[in-house]
Amino acid sequence: MRGRFAGLLPWSLFFAVFGLVPLLAALVLSFYSMNPLRPDLTHWVGGANYARALGSPAFWHALRTTAIFVVGTLPATLVLAYVVAALLSRLRRGEAFFRAAIFFPATLSMVVISLVFKSLYAEQGLLNGWLKGLGFPAVHWLQDPRLALPSIMAMDVWASVGYYAILILAGRKTLPVEQLEAARLEGMRALAIERRIILPHVKPVILFVVLLNTVRSFQIFIEVFVLTRGGPLESTLTLVYHLYERAFYHFEMGYACALAYLLLLLVGVILLLQRRLIARAPVEVPAEMPLAPAVPRGTGRGAA
Amino acid sequence: MGSRGHPVVALWVALALAVAMTGCGRRDRGTTTVVFWQFSPLPAIQPVLDKFHHEHPGIRVEVEQLTWQSGREKIVAAVAAGRPPDLCEIGSTFLPGLVADSTLIDLTDSIADLKPELRGWRVTEYLGRSYAIPWMLGTRAMYMNADLMRGVGLPPENPPTTWTDFARAVEQIDAAGPDLKGFGMNAGEREVLFKKFMPFAWGNGGDILDSTLTHSVVYSPQNVEALRFYLSLKPFSLLDRQEMLDEAFTRGRIGFTISGPWMLRKLPESAPQLHFVVILMPRPGKDRGTPASFAGAEALGIFRGAKEKSAALTLARFLVREENAMPLYIATGNAFPAAAAAVEDTYFVSHPRDKVFVQQLQTAVAPPVHPRWVEIEEILNSELEEAIYGKKPADEALRSADQRIGALLQTGR
């Protein structure tokens, strides 16, 4: 028994130092006015940081931008990931290669991805080169306030689809081959099988993907930091980037912590809602969904 | 999917813990160890420090290179953790915040003898007191594509010196081809906009705050005229981030761009076929205004919580000497020694393009050191961005900036 828990110790220590302590420290700090350059002047302000955030137009603007990002990327990522997973499952040859290729962006750091897209989106970049070849004028992907956020969203969808597609693919592969064969013998068409058998089966995975993508999308920071720094005209000012600016440019650590907790609260509410949805799903949700793609063993190769 | 940013707070605490675990300033068997954080590559700074060790065998320097991406956060985390370096290189845009928060020690009385020997004191002083020692000075000058000038019938040997001549050259180059643009105008990176516009305003006699630093003078006829002129270049300009403008200039696609000395080393390597000239910024008229530019500085500051203040000051005094700062410029090519004697260095005789930057420094202006500079800069940049994106005309943007800065100054700190 003792040995079993001893194995958890390294992770628990790591989590306590780099997860739990900052989390609790941030909660305490959110009720203080704290300038990291003058920690001696730190003083209690109660809920003033929260009140200030809720009355700040910049906070609501950043929240709106973040919400647009989440709402804009979530359906696109989900649909594309589902389609890719369906296509991958139908491959008769080279599935391993395509699976690896699709998953490849997930192995890259978001900084690297952002830097690559920075050159793709450049005025003389590949995208404008294609447009020019087709006779269209160059587009200012990151300089145009109307296009900057959609450009980042498109990049994010590209970077996320592979990971989620592999999760959905893993879910599809848990469907027993016999069930599919029976459906085919009964004369069901491919689309009907997809809609009436496979989709309900992978629904918990889809809901998990929705949940995970929502949480991660609300945290969008690196893409904005590398590509636009919140501009132009604050069109890409997301909540976490706003929080970063308040903390490290204005040295308002207490206020930044309050912003972080408002974000946590918001994401928490969404998480609860989605957990309720998952609970209503017809198929039992696996207790622990793998964070890396995994094909179930011992049940034979899934045919979905 | 790729790893995303975890809450900034986690990063913050991790940084604080990391710096807390590093040893700062300690004595060991009669040798004092000075922890020195700076931004130059270690191969560039090490020979200078070797010389220091030779001159001061009782002091050992533990040097660390900061990155431009995260250096600021690391410094803040170190100060918050109560373990700052003994000596730190601090950029002029970061300095006012540190001064305002009394994070740096007042060096005025310890460095009075250095005053006549160094330039750039404006960026280190607040209310007549010096909180850092200017080490290296940076400025921007105008890069001109000589071939494009020649292509539109303008002799590059006779570059534009006034706004009128400059605007004409920009317009002509822009009209010379569909892939060409006359000027590179910064956009999409709000944080640098005032640095690119204010040279025109300063050259025209404008400014941001009055001499007492208590009132905004942003909404002045000089500034409005300068912004109107700057915006008149927009139709003939490529609007992009600095790195993209630098790249476009490298590819020979823009006639003029305002950039720093780092391009001097980069261009001959990346575009050996490019014929370019570095010129002073244009002035409002032949007999009017100055060819002003933005002046920044890398200064050496000692934090209140530093362990080895005296040894750190010895190191700082050594580093700012012309013979020690000049090798750093030659190695990095980023900023010029603040030592006044460096102007006469023979290096500039054999490097005429570098010398233009030294000349440009004579008329370059540094933004004011004010406790609320970060907010002032933010307001200025956001209003300039509105003007560049056509959301507000020049006078309205500056009037709005003036009102917002005025209100900010009235609230005090």
Question: Could you say which residues of chain A have pLDDT below 50?
Answer: 283-304
Determine whether the interchain pair A232/B188 forms a contact, defined as Cβ–Cβ distance below 8 Å: yes
How far A209 CA lies from chain B's nearest CA (Å)? 12
Q: Could you tell me if B127 and B188 lie in one domain?
A: no
> What are the helix (H) ranges across chain A?
2-6, 9-15, 21-29, 48-54, 57-90, 95-103, 110-120, 126-133, 148-172, 177-185, 190-193, 199-218, 222-227, 239-248, 253-280
- Greater confidence (B371 vs B194) lies with B194
Q: Which of B365, B380, B400 is the last residue of a domain?
A: B365
Please list, in sequence order, all residues whose beta carbon lies within 8 angstroms of the beta carbon of residue A141, skipping any fewer than 6 positions away: A121, A125, A127, A147, A148, A151
**What letter represents residue A224's amino acid?**
V
Total domain count, chain B: 2
Ordered domains of chain A (ranges, CATH):
57-280 (1.10.3720.10)
Contact B79 A216 (CB under 8 A): no
B315 in a structural domain: yes
Residue B337: predicted pLDDT: 94
Question: Which residues does chain A have within 8 Å of residue B389's beta carbon, measured at their own beta carbons?
Answer: 145, 232-233
Task: Look at residue A303 in the predicted model and tell me its pLDDT.
Answer: 40
> pLDDT tens digits for B51-60?
999 999 999 9
Instruction: Output DSSP code: residue B338.
Output: S
Exposed/middle/buried for residue A292 (C-beta within 10 Å: 0-12, 13-18, 19+): exposed
Instruction: Give the pLDDT of residue A279.
Output: 67
pLDDT over 90 at B22, yes or no: no
Domain shared by B256 and B388, yes or no: yes
Q: Check residue A38 and give its pLDDT.
A: 83
**B53 plus B198 within the same structural domain:** no
Confidence of residue B68 (pLDDT cuts 50, 70, 90): confident
Residue B38 covered by a domain: yes
Rounded to whole angstroms, the Cα distance separating B90 from B132 reads 9
Contact B13 A18 (CB under 8 A): yes
Residue type, A174: T
Residue B187 has pLDDT above 80, yes or no: yes
Question: How many beta carbons lie within 10 A of that of residue A215, not counting itself?
Answer: 16
pLDDT in tens, B144-170: 999 999 999 999 999 999 999 999 999
Nearest to A123 among B79, B101, B240 (CB): B240
Asked if B95 and B223 sit in the same domain, the reply is no
Does the beta-carbon distance from A253 to B189 stay under 8 Å? no
Contact B190 A225 (CB under 8 A): no
B155 and B238 assigned to the same domain: yes
Inside any domain, residue B386: yes
Which residue range(s) make up the domain with B241?
141-294+369-411
Whether B194 is in a domain gets the answer yes
Distance from CA of B378 to the nearest CA of A (A): 10
State the average pLDDT over residues B68-84: 87
- Kindly state whether residues B403 and B260 are assigned to the same domain: yes
CB-based contact A143 B240, cutoff 8 Å? yes
The pLDDT value given to residue A2 = 59
Chain A CA closest to residue B77: A36
Q: Tell me, what's the pLDDT at B16?
A: 55
| One domain, residues B290 and B277 | yes
Contacts of A18 in chain B (CB under 8 A): 10, 13-14
CATH for B173: 3.40.190.10
Q: What is the mean pLDDT of residues B226-244?
A: 95
Assign A85 to helix, strand or coil.
helix
Contacts of A37 in chain B (CB under 8 A): 76, 79-80, 97-98, 101, 103
Contacts of A160 in chain B (CB under 8 A): 1
Q: Which of A106, A159, A231 sits opposite B190 (nearest CB)?
A: A231
- Choose the mutation target among B8, B13, B98 for the interface with A, i.e. most A CBs under 10 Å: B8
> Smallest Cβ distance to A122: which of B187, B244, B389?
B244
b/e per residue, B185-223, with b = 16+ CB within 10 A?
bbbbbbebbbbbbbbbbbbbbbbbbeeebeebbbbbebb
Residue B120: inside a domain, yes or no?
Answer: yes
The torsion angles phi and psi of B323, rounded to 5 degrees, stand at -70, -15
In a domain? residue B198: yes
CA distance A127 to chain B (A): 15
Contact A253 B12 (CB under 8 A): yes
Residue A278's pLDDT is 67
The answer to whether the CB atoms of A37 and B247 lie below 8 A apart is no
Mark whether B283 and B186 lie in a shared domain.
yes
Chain B residues whose CB is inside 8 A of the A105 CB are 1-2
| B24 pLDDT higher than 80 | no
Lowest mean pLDDT among B158-172, B338-352, B374-388: B338-352
Q: How far apart are CA B179 and CA A163, in angstroms?
A: 40
Which of A69, A123, A160 to probe by mutation at the B interface, max B CB count within 10 Å? A123
Asked if B9 and A226 count as a contact pair (C-beta separation under 8 A), the reply is no
Mutate to test the interface with B, among A249, A261, A291 (most CBs of B within 10 A): A249
Alpha-carbon gap: B45 to the closest alpha carbon of chain A (Å): 27
- What is residue A297's predicted lDDT score, i.e. its pLDDT? 32
A292 backbone dihedrals φ, ψ, rounded to 5°: -120, 150
B352 and B387 together in one domain? no
Interchain pair B188, A162: CB under 8 A: no
Q: Reply yes or no on whether the pLDDT at B271 is more than 70.
A: yes
Searching chain B, which residue's CA lies closest to the CA of residue A229? Answer: B189
Q: Tokens representing A84?
A: 């890719």
Q: For A156, which residue in chain B has the nearest alpha carbon?
A: B1
- Which tokens is B95 given? 């300095």
Mutation target for B interface from A246, A251, A259, A267: give the one with most B CBs within 10 A: A251
Q: Which pair of structure tokens corresponds to residue B39? A: 């931004």
Same domain, B343 and B376: no
Contact A220 B4 (CB under 8 A): yes
Residue B387: closest C-alpha in chain A: A233
Nearest chain B CA: its distance from A46 CA (Å)? 19
- Regarding whether B233 and B381 lie in a shared domain, the answer is yes
User: In this complex, do A123 and B248 lie within 8 Å of one another by their Cβ atoms?
Assistant: yes
pLDDT tens column, A46-70: 999 999 999 999 999 999 999 999 9
Selecting from B1, B101, B385 the residue whose C-beta is nearest the C-beta of A160 gives B1
Name chain A contacts of B2, Cβ cutoff 8 Å.
Answer: 105-106, 108-110, 112-113, 159
> In chain A, what residues touch B14 (CB-CB under 8 Å)?
18, 22
Give DSSP secondary structure letters for B78-130: HHHTT---SEEEEETTTHHHHHHTT-BPP-GGGSGGGGGGBS-GGGGEETTEE
Confidence of residue B104 (pLDDT cuts 50, 70, 90): very high
Q: Give the residue with greater pLDDT, B76 vs B202.
A: B202
Predicted TM-score (pTM) of this structure:
0.83
The answer to whether the CB of A206 falls within 8 A of the CB of A277 is no
Q: What is the mean pLDDT of chain B?
A: 90
Task: Please give, one letter per residue, the 3-state secondary structure of B32-55.
Answer: EEEEEEECCCHHHHHHHHHHHHHH
Tell me, yes or no, whether B2 lies in a domain.
Answer: no
Least CB–CB distance from B238: residue in A38, A123, A233: A123
Contact between A278 and A211 under an 8 Å Cβ cutoff? The reply is yes
CB pairs A-B closer than 8 Å: 139
Residues B208, B232: one domain?
Answer: yes
In a domain, B78, yes or no: yes
For B116-134, write each residue's pLDDT tens digit.
999 999 889 888 899 999 9
